Structures are given as C-alpha cells and as structure tokens.
Amino acid sequence: MLAAGVAGQQRIPGKHGSAPSAYREISVIVADKPGELARLFAAIGDAEVNLEDIRIEHVFGRPSGLVALFVRPEAGERLIDALATHGFDVRA
C-alpha cells in the first residue's frame, strides 16, 4: 500500500507542470508583528534567491510564526547566511 502511495505521489506534476524537483527547506522564526514578512521577503530578494514555495505556521503559545522557505539546494547556504545577516532566527 505504501509503495502504491509513493508511486502515485511521484506522478503529481511539479511546479508549472514540470517534473517534480527537490528543494531545500529552510525554517525561520518570524515575530508576529507588522512588517516582519515584508522584511523577510526583502532579505530573500537582497540575497537574489528565488523562493520556490513557502509555508507559514503559527507557533502555539508564542508571539511568532514558523516560516518554511523552499529553495533550490544550491541556493540554501547563501540564503541562510543572508537571513542571519539580517537578524533572522534561522533553523536550517
């Protein structure tokens, strides 16, 4: 049953209908206050890294959120360095 599920998942098209791609996930803790997501996206742009996908979750009981950034593997270290330079709490 698991093998059939994996085979089915592999048939799902990737971004823009192309073959599925492997991305690196970089998690960042972001304060729950105005402008923080804008600051995060500006830092990503300053690093000239293309953001392939994003997921945002609130951290239970804390005034912050966990932002999962998905990028090409070769861009991961550059993004981690840039986010740390901008003062973000990176959980890579």
For the chain, what are the domain ranges?
A: 23-91
pTM of the model: 0.77
Other CB atoms within 10 A of residue 75 CB: 21
CA distance 31 to 8: 38
**What does R_g of the chain's alpha carbons equal in angstroms?**
15
**pLDDT tens track for 47-80:** 999 999 999 998 778 889 999 999 999 999 999 9
Give the pLDDT of residue 62: 83
Q: What is the mean pLDDT of residues 27-48?
A: 95
The tokens describing 50, both together, are 């293309």
pLDDT value, residue 83: 97
Distance CA 61, CA 83 (A): 24
We find that the CATH architecture of domain 23-91 is 2-Layer Sandwich (3.30)
Query: What residues pair up with 71 in beta bridges, in sequence order?
Result: 24
